[in-house]
């Protein structure tokens, strides 16, 4: 199983707040960003560092730095952009691409309407963002498009995941590691995650 779950009391506490239907837009949006930062730290645990020489107020010393220009974040519109601020705080110089997909309410399959990547996307490690991994359709389509553009290293970050979505990514893209704050019970008949937290996009942007 190529999925890592953040098992942490603070994450559990934050999840309980955003799952609550009475949590307002501002707090919901802020906590999505906070959890995204935690996910980013975990996803970067295998990052390669370069040794450099710096000078502290005391003396010269060797230090290790991340080449931030080797990374790109790709939020799946529109809910994925709600995670973006949390990752930019961690790696501010990463480039950003966007994928626009929406779900057909009858077939529950993703339909693409926008795709814009940095010119050198093939040379970057890409972190795909979407708060909810439900059926896995949008995630798999996005990963496929990135691979067609030559991207070799892709990670997927989400706040909540359904077993069905995890299974689909693992079957179609077994090389992509998934980082999530929670694996929930299942999908319901409308392909929403149970217990989930509702429509993440609507709750992030206050559109419902």
Question: What is the distance between the alpha carbons of residues 3 and 76, in angstroms, rounded to a whole number?
Answer: 19
Q: Kindly give the residue spans of alpha helices, DSSP state H, lying in the chain.
A: 9-19, 25-43, 81-90, 137-148, 163-172, 200-205
Q: Which pLDDT value is given to residue 110? A: 73
Average pLDDT for 136-150 = 94
Q: What is the pLDDT of residues 83-108, one digit of tens each?
A: 999 999 999 999 999 999 877 777 76
Cis peptide before 195 (omega within 30 of 0): yes
pLDDT class of 13 with cuts at 50, 70, 90: very high
**Is 103 annotated in the active site?**
yes
Given pLDDT bands bounded at 50, 70 and 90, which one contains residue 206?
A: confident
* Residue of 104, 120, 175, 202 with catalytic role: 202
Given the residues 19, 23, 85, 199, the one annotated as active site: 199
Range from 11-20, 59-68, 96-105, 197-206 carrying the lowest mean pLDDT: 96-105
**Predicted pLDDT at 125:** 96
Is residue 199 part of the annotated active site? The answer reads yes
85 is annotated as an active-site residue: no
- For the chain, the domains span 3-205
CA angle 97, 100, 101 (to 5 degrees): 140
Q: Check 107, 112, 120, 144 and give the catalytic one.
A: 107
Candidates 3.40.50.1220, 3.30.70.270, 3.40.50.2020, 1.10.1060.10; CATH matching 3-205:
3.40.50.2020
Binning pLDDT at 50, 70 and 90, where does residue 16 land?
very high
Say what the pLDDT of residue 72 is.
97
Determine the pLDDT at residue 1: 66
User: What whole-number distance in Å separates Cα of residue 83 and Cα of residue 102?
Assistant: 17
């Amino acid at each position: 199983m190529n999925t890592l779950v953040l098992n942490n009391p603070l994450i559990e506490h934050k999840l309980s707040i955003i799952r609550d239907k009475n949590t307002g837009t501002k707090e919901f949006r802020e906590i999505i960003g906070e959890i995204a930062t935690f996910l980013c730290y975990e996803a970067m645990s295998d990052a390669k560092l370069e040794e450099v020489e710096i000078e502290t107020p005391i003396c010269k010393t060797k230090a290790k730095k991340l080449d931030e220009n080797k990374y790109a974040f790709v939020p799946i519109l529109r809910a994925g952009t709600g995670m973006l601020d949390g990752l930019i705080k961690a790696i501010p110089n990463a480039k950003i691409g966007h994928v626009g997909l929406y779900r057909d309410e009858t077939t529950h399959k993703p339909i693409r309407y926008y795709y814009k990547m940095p010119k050198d996307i093939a040379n970057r490690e890409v972190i795909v963002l979407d708060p909810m991994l439900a059926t896995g359709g949008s995630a798999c389509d996005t990963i496929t498009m990135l691979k067609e553009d030559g991207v070799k290293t892709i990670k997927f970050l989400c706040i909540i995941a359904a077993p069905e979505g995890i299974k689909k990514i693992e079957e179609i893209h077994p090389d992509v590691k998934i980082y999530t704050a929670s694996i929930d019970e299942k999908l319901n008949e409308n392909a929403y995650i149970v217990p989930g937290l509702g429509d993440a996009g609507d709750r992030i942007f206050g559109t419902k």
